[in-house]
Structure 1
Amino acid sequence: MQLELRHLRTLCAIADAGSLSRAAATVGVSQPALTGRLHRIETALGGQVFRRGRQGVSPTPFGLFVLSRARSVLVTVDELLTGIETESGTAGVRVGGYATPVLTGLLHRLFELPGARITVHTEYSPRLLLDLLASRRLDAATLVDYPGHELPVRPSVGVRVVATEPIAVALPAGHPLADGDEVPLARLADEDWLVTPPDGAGWPEYFYTACQEAGFAPRVRHMMTEHDMIRALVAEGRAVAPCQATLTVGTDIVVRPLTGPTLWMRHLLAWRLGGPLAHRAPELAALAAEAHRTAAADVPGLPGRLHPGGPADRPLHGGSAVTTG
């Protein structure tokens, strides 16, 4: 097998995640597929890059050498590609994120700007989006994180909090708990659940911990990221699903904030320092916050639950505080 750049990115993703399962979620493949890929890479290199253990994976001395060279190569290649785009005049503003009301609302506002030349890159994992920013393959991105799982600070990436909102649950409109303004998590102990898969940044671990605090382990029947499929299964009464409180739904689904305990999530705007949007970061954050407020205004009772004192101002892991938008 001939070693390719994607193989080097795979090794770096595994090293950053610290486990094959988390890395698989970041890369967007199954764990068995990633394990097989790693085995082929190690065979091609002629040595073991990672030690496997019960707590995850760690680089071997040989692996540390390989990883240091791999990161150097990737930085050089990314700089080359960025330079080519700049010199050829093909570089536009590159915005990424997961398909949320914040991202779609922000893009709608950006596309309306005179002379806007924007390309969009969607990714599920916030950590992967940070990697894309740090490696100069994105200029800005919308992210989410959770209390106790704050995203790590990257020296080359600026971050600002856009909004903090309660995590909600999507229920079929005819559900017995659909008429309330909120839903105690413990009342859903006997439900079948649909959750989105691990994102490498604390989800769904944060949700599972809250369920344990509420006295039960969720019975997860379905795991997926496709919004249309999630809406269809919830509307048919096949499952209930934790979701963003600003999730857009039809008349056959209701979204209610979860309580007991209340779960929180932060919407973040991140940008590449030194990138084309760095000097416009405050304005960009204001546009993202406006997009979130617009989405929240359509959810009964949600505007009054936004921006609680503590969670919104908590620093990201790594020490640097971020500014609220």
Structure 2
Amino acid sequence: MRHLRVLCAIADAGSLHQAARRLGMAQPSLSTQLRRIEHALGGPLFTRDRTGCRPTPLGHAVLSRARPLVAELAALVTETRAAAARASGGVHLRIGATASRAIPGWLRRLRARGPGTEPTLQMDVSANALLRMVAAGRLDMAFVHEVEGSPLRVPPGLRLRVLVEREPQFVTLAVDHPAAARHEIPLADLAGERWMVDSTVDGEWDALCRVLREAGLEPELLHGDYLTAYSLAATGEVVTVSQPTAHPRSDLAMRPLRGDPIGVRLLLAARTEDELDFGYDELEEAYWDAARQAPAYRDWLERRGIPCAPHPLATTADARA
């Protein structure tokens, strides 16, 4: 079954590099494991080139049998854990999330609901991967970001609740950058800068390319994780996109872009309404607590007359796939 999960992860990710990250493995180890699986099954399961991995005809045949088995086992594990939790009087929540400053406060509030409530956390840069994990029963709920212009691929049957309909994305740059003196920065002021963005985050690379193209700019774009991007931004090497709730740093300035050209929708996903109800209020409180602690975002909200409290940017309607 572990081998079947590996094959499904590679097919879903489209590359060994991405699959290894999602499985928490080193890429060479995953490559070795794939070769062993292919040897055992008698042929190549994926074609590999610079664009990624694609299933061969044999791979498609194996995956068509593997996916139902993996889903059935995940459902069995989910049902068994739920039954055990009910028997012990506890609630064990398996939570997934893309990066957010709201997560520590969310977990803390969930634990405060009662001595039997114990959430576990699965982080992933891919919102689509987390949604698939919820649909397969491997997670109970997931807090994800949907980048404007790049709709998420929501599996059938999931329930979605919108936390923030459109959160603006800020730009992060060195604190001594000339543009940092502005409350809002026009993209034109950054025309000569190099941008760094994590292309493994669903939709972010495409969104930045689109916004820069619409502004008539063609700067150099570099791929890198956001920890590296922040370090380079602090020395003036690059500028980068950041969530408005990002923790302030003395060597960085986080500023809104004029006109808020990049937006993100924040969603909580689960399989049932009861699961959404269980986790939503605590997430909402944690998000707005994080917003209050981010000076640039707090200022952005105040200038628009939006209070830093639950509900101002949230919608209560559920979206069903």
Query: Which TM bucket (shorter chain)?
Result: 0.7 to 0.9
Q: Match for residue 187 of structure 2?
A: 185
RMSD, matched Cα: 3.5
Q: Match for residue 72 of structure 1?
A: 68
Q: Match for residue 224 of structure 1?
A: 225
Q: Match for residue 283 of structure 2?
A: 288
How many residues are treated as equivalent by the alignment? 304
Q: Match for residue 211 of structure 2?
A: 210
Q: AA paired with 1:73?
A: L
Q: Distance in 2 between matches of 1:147 and 1:157?
A: 20
Q: Distance in 1 between matches of 2:21 and 2:258?
A: 28
Q: Distance in 2 between matches of 1:179 and 1:130?
A: 40
Q: Match for residue 245 of structure 1?
A: 244
Structure 2, unaligned runs of 5 or more: 308-312
Q: Match for residue 310 of structure 2?
A: none
Q: Distance in 2 between matches of 1:204 and 1:306?
A: 29
Could you tell me the TM-score, scaled by structure 2's length? 0.78
Q: Match for residue 299 of structure 2?
A: 301
CA contact (8 A) 2:140 2:275 kept: no
Look up the SS of the partner of 1:265 in the other structure.
strand
Look up the SS of the partner of 2:245 in the other structure.
coil
CA contact (8 A) 2:131 2:154 kept: no
Q: AA paired with 2:61?
A: F
CA contact (8 A) 1:139 1:272 kept: yes
Q: AA paired with 1:130?
A: L
- Residue-by-residue CA offset, 1:139-180 (whole Å, 9 max, x unaligned): 112100112211122224211111121111112211111121
- Residue-by-residue CA offset, 1:84-141 (whole Å, 9 max, x unaligned): 4345448611222133123233223212212222222222221221122122121112
- Residue-by-residue CA offset, 1:163-218 (whole Å, 9 max, x unaligned): 1211111122111111212122232232233322412x222222122222223344
Q: Match for residue 49 of structure 1?
A: 45
Q: What percent identity do the matched residue pairs reach?
A: 36
CA contact (8 A) 1:165 1:305 kept: no
Q: Distance in 1 between matches of 2:230 and 2:104?
A: 18
CA contact (8 A) 1:166 1:306 kept: no
Query: Aligned runs of 1:310-321 on 2, under 5 Å?
Result: 321=319
Look up the SS of the partner of 2:204 in the other structure.
coil
Q: Distance in 2 between matches of 1:105 and 1:261?
A: 27
CA contact (8 A) 2:159 2:319 kept: no
Q: Match for residue 261 of structure 2?
A: 262
Q: Distance in 1 between matches of 2:25 and 2:214?
A: 31
Q: Match for residue 271 of structure 1?
A: 270
Q: Distance in 2 between matches of 1:240 and 1:31?
A: 29
Residue 264 and residue 305 in structure 1: after superposition, are their counterparts in 2 closer, same or farther (change >3 A)?
farther
- Residue-by-residue CA offset, 1:279-325 (whole Å, 9 max, x unaligned): 15246333323332333334243223979xxx988x9xxxx9469xx
CA contact (8 A) 1:142 1:267 kept: yes
Structure 1, unaligned runs of 5 or more: none
